[in-house]
Amino acid sequence: MIITYHGLEFIKLQVGETVIGINSPSKESKYKKTSFGADIALTTLNHPDFNGGASLSRGDRNPFVIEGPGEYEIEGTFIKGYASESKYDGKDRINTIYSLSVDGMNICFLGALSNPALKSETIEAIDGVDILFVPIGGDGVLTPAEGYKIAVQLEPKLIIPIHFEEDGKELKTFLKEGGSEKIDPQEKLTLKKKDLEGKEGEIALLVSSSS
């Protein structure tokens, strides 16, 4: 699996020929939209900054768009969505936490989550996380401290922070919380299940890509 980060909460996962786009900004968003085709598009929250999944269409790729809680199976990819709370952009909203089984790895994407107190049934349902994407920017989503606290609670093997200003203090605070103040950022992560063996809460940092 190849993971790339395209700013705010926009993530691209590629496994073989299958491409999954998560929280792509729409054309109404102020955030720059990266152009690529996807087979599956996930939206955690109905806001222009995240709900542009339907536009991830290129060539013969016309994405299956998922926009809320439920259970799904698309092209051998198993996806579950769980309702949670967000205060993004100053309003009370429903955010969907997604759990995906991809390339033999369990991925949890928290989206624009603002309340770190998850329901016990949600925590039980997403047990056994290999890779966790967690927002750390505050102001309607989790703060760096809250983000790390929930990461510890979910016990992932690898933690990837998202939703932060690259020149801001959020990332530094989050890394300090995790005791990993010096991490070399990477343009992409190429991972297999065996690469995660022995890891416990390790933090990986991705550079936002515009391509």
> Kindly report the CA angle at 200 between 135 and 85, in degrees rounded to 5?
25
**Mean pLDDT score of the chain, rounded to an integer?**
94
What pLDDT, on a 0 to 100 scale, did the predictor assign at position 211?
Answer: 46
Q: Indicate if the alpha-carbon torsion angle 8, 9, 10, 11 is positive or negative.
A: positive
Residue 165 lies in a domain: yes
The label of the residue with tokens 């579950």 reads 80
Total number of domains in the chain: 1
Sorting pLDDT into bands at 50, 70 and 90, what band is 195? Answer: very high
What pLDDT, on a 0 to 100 scale, did the predictor assign at position 210?
Answer: 58
> Kindly report the CA angle at 97 between 95 and 98, in degrees rounded to 5?
135
Q: Could you tell me where the beta strands, DSSP code E, fall in 67-207? A: 70-74, 77-86, 93-102, 105-109, 131-135, 158-162, 189-190, 202-203
Residue 171 lies in a domain: yes
Sorting pLDDT into bands at 50, 70 and 90, what band is 186? Answer: very high
Residue 210 lies in a domain: no
Residue 107 lies in a domain: yes
Q: Does residue 184 carry a pLDDT above 50?
A: yes
Express each pLDDT in 163-182 by its tens digit: 998 778 999 999 999 988 78
User: Could you give the CA distance from residue 200 to residue 187 in angstroms, rounded to a whole number?
Assistant: 22
Output the pTM of the full model. Answer: 0.96
**Span 24-34, average pLDDT:** 90
What is the residue range of 65's domain?
Answer: 2-203
Residue 211 lies in a domain: no
**Span 94-112, average pLDDT:** 97
Closest among 61, 59, 27 to 41, alpha carbons compared: 61
CATH of the domain at 11: 3.60.15.10
Sorting pLDDT into bands at 50, 70 and 90, what band is 76? Answer: confident
Q: Does residue 43 carry a pLDDT above 90?
A: yes
DSSP 91: S
Q: Could you tell me where the beta strands, DSSP code E, fall in 104-201? A: 105-109, 131-135, 158-162, 189-190
User: Could you give the CA distance from residue 208 to residue 196 in angstroms, rounded to a whole number?
Assistant: 22
> Kindly report the CA angle at 160 between 131 and 64, in degrees rounded to 5?
65
Residue 28 lies in a domain: yes
Residue 208 lies in a domain: no
